[in-house]
Chain A
Amino acid sequence: MSPLAHVTPSFQKETFVLNLGPQHPSTHGVLRVKLVMDGEYIAEAEPVLGYIHRMHEKMGENRTYAQFLPNPARMDYLSALSYNHGHVCAVERAAGIEVPPRAEYIRVITTELNRISSHLLWFGAYVLDLGGFTPLLYAFDDRERLLDLLEMVTGARLTYCYFRFGGVYNDIDEEFIAGTREFVQRMRARVPMYHKLVTTNIILIKRLKDIGYISPETCRKYGATGPVLRGSGVSYDVRKNEPYSVYKDFEFNVPIYSEGDSMARYMVRMDEMLESCRIIEQALDKLPDGPYKAEKVPKILKPPKGDIYCAVEAARGEFGIHLVSDGTNTPYRLKLRSPSFSNLSLFAEVSQGCLLADAIAIMGSLDLVIPEIDR
């Protein structure tokens, strides 16, 4: 039962169509939502996709495995390393490549840093959507330090292409390790400050609490994952439920909130930043010596015939790759399962009967990245 049921209007009166997007500041990209409005209430919402569709799956089929490496980062540009990770994991599974432990640790450290930077940007932009400008500047202050750190090792600030089949592009150094430790310490103090500055703000609470209830069953039927699912009280995180890479070496919690409203999804992401800090710190403490990439990975990969599936936990949920190989040097089929695609598909059902202003709050709480939905 939706907490909004008591405000659901009767839809007896005349309705009109309102276009939200494709250029609208709150959609953070080219997403269009066709809204049938009954006054201020949404009678029907239909997301219209495809404005930034680039057919990454076709590109996957007409280039070699290595040539496709930069593509996943262009899907979700905010947590590019998770996508990079998913892609290399899938190809490594298909081709049977072993990855040295040091490389896996470096992957985990950089991916978790990237997760924090993604959540920070979401936090700033979300509060901005709701009318608060200042937190964005605080969040970007932190994020800037993160981007500097990641630039130091990956050479890029946003669309990272750092992982290679069997390892990473280059080793991390003492400067990066010291900088990362310092950042983790800083973040531990910043998150409580964010709670003091933003979370306890009465306007934010009024905008998020009991708004956009999503039940665990709705999540299951639509395949919603990530913070959206965990905000509905379901403890599901691919890092915990199906540990890939070296995630089983670390102690961390999966934050869950059972309220299922926008506030719960907000809190999940805030807590996740601190959990990522824990993972990074443990990974730095345990960082093994040894090679940072596997030797003897063939330049031209030809995985054996057959199909595999591989999923990782990106900042927005489960990113999966279904890879079909026909034994040649290009994939026969490369299906990219992106989390926001499934997370947005429940928006039509959840936003029904909501106020327009609340729909913006709901959409923001889903943390959408449009290029990843359209691919």
Chain B
Amino acid sequence: MLRDKARAALAAITPEGVQETDYKAKGYHVDAAVAVDQVLAAVKAVDGLGFFLEDVCGVDWLAAGEMEVVYHFAHVQETCRVVIRTRAPRDNPEVPSISGIYPGANWHERETHDFFGIRFAGHPYLVPLLLPEDADFHPLRKDFKGLNG
């Protein structure tokens, strides 16, 4: 089973971060919480198993002082969804860019940078994608108060 292979490959990187999840309740099969410096290794592992990149999503955990980045992967041959997540400190959120492995991540990371101000180290072109080109605000940060006027 693909999900066992994915779990084993991710457990080799972070044994304690990998969980099997209840697909019916959660909508994904494998959940891997990795450290920021393990992101590239984890994404390379799912890339090696033939997963495609579904989505990259930011979450602002204001109370915990952390920024989370959630990567969703799915597979075309078998029903298997893998979630890789990582957390960076909120005052200096920097996560390695995976656009070298999945070029499709380029836009997703630009969008996440727009909305959360998370920097993706090694991204080739980290300029606003959806926000105006001179935007210096991050509207999905929980402490964003809105613009004047």
Q: Which residues of A come within 8 Å of B, CB atoms?
A: 49-50, 53, 55, 57-58, 61, 90, 93, 96, 219-224, 229, 234-236, 241-242, 306-311, 318, 320, 322, 324, 332-333, 335, 337, 341-342, 345-346, 349, 374-375
Contact = CB atoms under 8 A, between A and B. Distances in A.
Interface in B32-57: 50, 52-55, 57
Contacts of B25: 93, 96, 308
Contacts of A349: 103
A255 to B, nearest CB: 15
A57 B115 contact: yes
Contacts of B129: 49-50
B131 A320 contact: no
Interface in B43-83: 50, 52-55, 57, 59-60, 70, 72, 74, 76, 79, 81, 83
Given A309-B26, A309-B28, A311-B27, 16 more contacts: A61-B140, A219-B52, A221-B52, A221-B102, A221-B104, A222-B103, A222-B104, A223-B102, A224-B104, A308-B26, A318-B74, A320-B55, A333-B140, A337-B54, A345-B106, A375-B130
Given A61-B140, A308-B26, A220 B72 contact: no
B76 A309 contact: no
A179 B28 CA distance: 39
A50 B52 contact: no
Contact of A220 (B52, B70, B83): B52
A235 B75 CA distance: 11
B135 to A, nearest CB: 9
B130 A223 contact: no
A59 to B, nearest CB: 11
Contacts of B72: 309, 320, 322, 337
Nearest to A55: B139
A322 B130 contact: no
Nearest to B63: A326
B149 interface: no
